[in-house]
Structure 1
């Protein structure tokens, strides 16, 4: 294995930057993944809540505008289109024809529905029970597993707030005969005023949330990689020009001075640490040259003194 001490200065610096980069990428990936997942959920939640409010508007329109116009006919005939839940479901299916909303699903999951297509499954039934136990909770969201894959859902409680709803859901005897003929008398009865009977839910495949987050994460990390790669190149160029090259020239000058070259000198115009090192080297070189000159004069004096004594 190559030892760190055997590496060049530029290589050591690059290795250090790479280690810092890898550590930063790992840490930022974890943090960014959490933030981007949250942002993706927030965006989908906003869109889902807008759809839910639209469905509530359809329900209110059906109850307050459509039903009064058909009150005489409804006294003898049951029309599914006048049921708010039915209208909302059908309108939402029209929404799903738009590619933007094709992956969204809408359901009024009910514990005891008239139409069994609205029957709450085990998970949905637990949500309804939670709404019953925590009456102050007006909304919940999260992920759930299904045979078709994981789903991200948003749910709100369905509460009976109008007595008119009980005309069809109190007892089979009070319900229109045509409704009994269509759905039977076993389901959708026994509801009470102010009772939470179900959960209004909009869901979307979890992969849609994760895919959006992954795309954003890859884009951001890609920008980081490109920016850091450019930074490494620029730092290495700067290091080579202002540190490595001056140090190499200084080493050559020091080697020449060690071989007895009195003219070995190194010049750097910068005022940074390399410039200070060059000034110190030149002072040392000057001091060494003066010392060599004094030594040479001392030797010359000794030789002259020896010649005079011999005479």
Structure 2
């Protein structure tokens, strides 16, 4: 019984609503549906686009650093390598990792790149600034356990925000590398003088000793995507509300107001007042209904006159 009462109450409320109110409720429902679905789809599209932007930047930078490493290895190192035996201090310019890092640090002096990072994270580096942290060590170990894995990407959360990283394995691919990293007694004297004989030794040919890593800030890009999403949703909402207003105005002028006037004419006719007439110039459904109402009024007026004539006889 309670369910039937509630259902009856809902139906009663629904039947009591006028046409304009029902239309507004429908338009409000459509408004929230369109905004919700559009917001969801826009969020997915913009997030994918932001991720693609971040990825493209990272790939461009890591390819650039790989080119710097190759240039140093093939052109700079052969020219400076003989001086390692005679110089009092080690010449880091002969090391591809050093060249790539210095070039990138120069790039970071520009404001738009100050939150980008490049590192050749190494488990046992000669220069301790290349020492892998805990997160980077896990990546290097992943490359060591999966030799066929050529690249690893993902997001990393830091206090300053999320960053997107690309990591590639660094392996000892040339015999010449072992000259400085196999054993301290085989290393150039200048290297021992500068870095000591404790770090960066014991490497083996084809061994993965580190990971080349580029870190690109992602928070700013995703924040810009969210701001764009809010802006688009705001503009869409304004246009939808304007559309709802115009639809209401149009329907009020062409549908609800004419129906109200016809209802008033019909009510006067039902009480015997046949003087009223509804005029609607448009040849649409409302016009057809108005013409039918006027014909009915004329027919009723004729019928009433005939009844009056018969009663007088």
State the TM-score, normalized to the length of structure 1. Answer: 0.86
In the superposition, relative to structure 1, how do residues 193 and 285 fare at CA in structure 2: closer, same or farther (>3 Å)?
farther
Q: What is the CA–CA distance in structure 2 between the aligned matches of 1:134 and 1:269, rounded to whole Å?
A: 82
| 1:65 corresponds to which of 75, 84, 92 | 75
Please give the alpha-carbon distance, in whole angstroms, between the structure 2 residues aligned to 1:187 and 1:201: 21
* CA distance in 1 between partners of 2:147 and 2:17 (Å): 68
CA distance in 2, matches of 1:196, 1:295: 111
Residues 138 and 6 of structure 1, relative CA distance in 2, 3 Å threshold: farther
2:105 match: 93
Distance across 2 between alignment mates of 1:47 and 1:63: 24
Change (3 A) 1:190 1:268: farther
**How far apart, CA to CA, are the structure 1 residues paired with 2:309 and 2:253?**
42
Q: Distance in 2 between matches of 1:135 and 1:296?
A: 108
- CA distance in structure 2 between the partners assigned to 1:296 and 1:136 by the alignment: 106
Does 2:291 correspond to 1:279? Answer: yes
Q: Residues 6-17 of structure 1 correspond to what in structure 2 (within 5 A)? A: 7-17=17-27
Contact 2:84 2:190 in 1 (8 A): no
Q: How many residues align?
A: 299
After superposition, what is the alpha-carbon deviation per residue over 1:121-146, rounded to whole angstroms, capped at 9, x for unaligned?
Answer: 22212222223333343333222123
Q: What is the match of residue 157 of structure 1?
A: 169
Name the CA shift for 1:89/1:241 in 2 (closer, same or farther; >3 Å).
same
Mind listing any 5+ residue stretches in structure 1 that lack a counterpart? Answer: 305-311
Distance in 2 between residues matched to 1:148 and 1:124, nearest whole Å: 18
1:223-277 deviation per Cα after TM superposition (whole angstroms, max 9, x unaligned): 2112212211211221111112211221221122123222433233434433333
CA drift at 1:5: 5.3
**Distance change in 2, residues 1:271/1:114 (3 Å):** farther
* Structure 1 match to 2:152: 140
The corresponding residue for 1:26 is 36
Question: Taking structure 2 as the reference length, what is the TM-score of the superposition?
Answer: 0.86
What SS is found at the alignment partner of 2:200?
coil
How far did 1:202 drift? 1.6
- Within a 5 Å distance, the mapping from 1:112-123 to structure 2 comes to 112-123=124-135
**Could you tell me which of 49, 60, 72 is aligned with 1:50?**
60
Cα distance, 1:136–1:236 mapped onto 2, change above 3 Å: farther
Q: Judge which range, 50-59 or 194-203, deviates more.
A: 194-203
Distance in 2, Cα, partners of 1:221 & 1:187: 56
* Contact 1:37-1:209 at 8 Å conserved across structures: no
Deviation track 1:207-227 (CA, whole Å, cap 9, x = no partner) reads 213212112212211221122
